[in-house]
Amino acid sequence: MLSENSLAADLFAAMVCCAVIFAFLLLWKETARRGVDQKLNRKLVHISIGLVFMLCWPLFSPGFRGATLAAITPGVNIVRMLLIGSGIWKDEATVKSMSRHGDYRELLKGPLYYAITVTLACAVYWRNSPIGIAAICNLCAGDGFADVVGRRFGKQKLPHNRNKSIAGSVAMATAGFLSSIGYMYYFSYFGYIQKSWGMVLGFLIVSLASALVESLPISTELDDNLTVTLTSILISSLIF
């Protein structure tokens, strides 16, 4: 029945996608409740949600409808962040798993920006464009691993920003680049994009540029969920 009705297939795919993402959110809520380090737990959410979400994209049909229905999942999360961050919906486990200091109002900043950027990357660029891949991979894998590695191995600080480390910046560029390559092969397997060495080089440049911007003091002031994503999209648009 689903193979004969593309709308029904897309709606089913949207339900599966939502179920997968919210299963991961419940997992990280539970680990936060069980006492996993709050900073690490927050970054596990940051790294996993966007990347797992992209894995679900081949479930949907091509074109505008598939992209729109796929974007519903992070779109629902935008509403969640607004409700929880404004205090209308009380959810301490979510606050603990996503905030830096346990303040529910923090969800109106980084976590909300994260949900918005992932939603827009899906709806606007979809799976046929390396721009969406670069934006989400550098935001999720790049920025996420920068913090995890930087906290553990970041004794040597950057000369232009003592709050950032060389290890963190290297980890960000590496994770963003390697995950972009992984998704290039993943989407090319389904025929959505054509993998090439030129695309590999483009992903490297985007990841290096994103890591550079993330290392600047302005990223801390504006929130790196915004600066990293905007940098990835801008550089990618010039390259691809």
Q: What is the value of pTM for the model shown?
A: 0.88
Give the mean pLDDT of 231-237: 94
Give the mean pLDDT of 220-238: 87
Q: Quick one: pLDDT band at residue 1, thresholds 50, 70, 90?
A: very low
Q: pLDDT tens, 108-135?
A: 888 888 889 899 999 999 999 999 999 9
Name the residue type at position 229.
T
Q: What b/e string do you get for 176-194 counting C-beta neighbours within 10 Å, with b at 16 or more?
A: bbbbbbebbebbeeeebbe
Q: Would the pLDDT of 81 be above 70?
A: yes
Q: pLDDT tens, 192-214?
A: 999 999 999 999 999 999 999 98
The one-character DSSP state at 57 is G
Domain layout of the chain by residue ranges: 1-126, 128-239
Q: pLDDT over 70 for what percent of the chain?
A: 97
Backbone dihedral angles phi then psi of residue 191, each to the nearest 5 degrees: 85, 15
Q: Would the pLDDT of 2 be above 60?
A: no
**What's the angle, vertex CA 187, arms to CA 25 and CA 223, rounded to 5?**
45
Residue 30 confidence (pLDDT): 83
CB-based burial of residue 201 (10 Å sphere; 0-12 exposed, 13-18 middle, 19+ buried)? exposed
Q: pLDDT tens, 50-78?
A: 999 999 999 998 888 889 999 988 888 89
Q: Would the pLDDT of 22 be above 90?
A: no
Choice between 240 and 93, residue whose per-residue pLDDT is larger: 240
Q: Quick one: pLDDT band at residue 170, thresholds 50, 70, 90?
A: very high
Residue 207 confidence (pLDDT): 96
Choice between 3 and 214, residue whose per-residue pLDDT is larger: 214
Q: pLDDT over 90 for what percent of the chain?
A: 45
**Dihedral angle, C-alpha 127, 45, 107, 168, nearest 10 °:** -90
